[in-house]
Amino acid sequence: MTEKQKLINEITRELPALDTGYLRLLTDFAEILQREVDVTADGHGPFTEEFARHFAGVLLVHHALSEEPFTKDKFEHAMVRVLNESDLDAHLSPRGNPGHDLTVGAEKWSLKTQADQALKLDALHISKFMEMGKGEWTNETSLTGLRQRMFDHVANYDRIFSLRHKIVGENRYYELVEIPKALLLEAENGELEMKMDSKQNPKPGYCRVYDRDRSQKFQLYFDGGTERKLQIKHLKKALCHVRASWTFKKD
């Protein structure tokens, strides 16, 4: 007996225990899961077509109940579920953990989401890469210490992923992008600038990273004011890896 037939038999056994409302809901989900989704997967590690198909199902069910894109919390739970279905040992970190969001095998993963209306398909923006908290934040010399805190934070995980959502025409488009950790560590040689003319307190600052041709790879933006957070801005997607993507009709 195939795995599919086993699941059909299991569902059939459970159906009589469901009331009419739940059966209608189950029927709706069955119809939703038959919708056409264009998927891609680069085949690197766990990111196979099977992974992409399973994740497509989670996206379809979510958008049957909500117009809103995946939040970070939903992304985390969906990744754990789909990776476990792919026979990988994946589990969430304790809530409030300042480092990685989940563990996959021996690897520590950090997950981000992006769904702002200004999203550009050729560049990534992480509006809250980490909280900076208190500490020295007065001049360009201070930025060296703030940048080091980013390096210390990145040391807590092995891989970084961003799930990005954008409406393209009549379709929803999601993509799973891996940001190379080594790329962010190039900030060690970045150019620092504190915006001393800003009215924010503390002042915001930048660390700009360029290639040999002076083309900008990305920026670290040390966002001052009350939040004191680090943003990653204008990160070229061409320097990252699109592990999977999903395109389907928007309701």
Q: Which of 149, 69, 78 is nearest to 115 (CA)?
A: 69
Average pLDDT over residues 169-196: 95
pLDDT at 135 over 80: no
Of residues 28 and 109, more confidently modeled: 109
Q: Is the pLDDT of residue 84 over 80?
A: yes
Q: Tell whether the model's pLDDT for residue 95 goes beyond 90.
A: no
Long-range contacts of 196-201 (CB under 8 A, 24+ apart): 196/139, 198/224, 200/224, 200/225, 201/225
From the number of C-beta atoms within 10 Å of its C-beta (0-12, 13-18, 19+), residue 153 rates as middle
pLDDT score at 94: 84
Give 191's pLDDT tier (boundaries 50, 70, 90): very high
- Of 11-15, 64-68, 117-121, 229-233, give the lowest mean pLDDT range: 11-15
Q: State the pLDDT confidence band at 199, using cuts at 50, 70 and 90.
A: confident
- What pLDDT is attached to residue 244? 98
Least confident of 44-53, 118-127, 132-141, 149-158: 132-141
> What is the model's pLDDT at position 7?
77
Q: Tell me the residue ranges of DSSP E strands in 75-215.
A: 90-92, 102-104, 107-114, 123-131, 159-168, 171-179, 191-194, 205-210
CB-CB contact of 59 with 74 (8 Å):
no
Token reading at 166: 């954008």
Beta partners for 175? 164, 245
Nearest to 148 by CA among 159, 135, 166, 161: 135
| 248 within 8 A of 69, measured Cβ to Cβ | no
Provide long-range contacts, Cβ within 8 A and 24+ apart, for 107-110.
107/158, 107/159, 108/156, 108/157, 108/158, 108/159, 109/79, 109/157, 109/158, 109/159, 109/160, 109/161, 110/157, 110/159, 110/160, 110/161
- Give start and end residues of each alpha helix (H) in the chain: 3-14, 20-32, 49-65, 72-85, 140-154, 181-185
Confidence of residue 33 (pLDDT cuts 50, 70, 90): confident
**pLDDT confidence of residue 3:** 80
Cβ 137 vs Cβ 224: under 8 Å: yes
pLDDT at residue 231 in the model: 95
- Whether the bond between 94 and the residue before it is cis, its omega within 30 degrees of 0, is no
Say which residue the tokens 């469901």 belong to: 18
User: Amino acid identity of 80?
Assistant: V
With beta carbons less than 8 A apart as the criterion, state whether 126 and 82 touch.
no
pLDDT at 22: 83
CA distances from residue 2 to 7, 8, 30, 31, 232 in whole angstroms, order as listed:
9, 10, 20, 22, 47
Q: What is the pLDDT of residue 39?
A: 97
- Reported as a pLDDT band with limits 50, 70 and 90, residue 241 is very high
Residue ranges per domain, the chain? 33-249
Q: What is the pLDDT of residue 27?
A: 82
pLDDT of res. 250: 87
The mean pLDDT of 3-28, rounded to a whole number, is: 82
What average pLDDT does range 73-98 have in this prediction?
Answer: 90
**Contact between residue 165 and residue 172 where contact means Cβ atoms under 8 Å apart:** yes
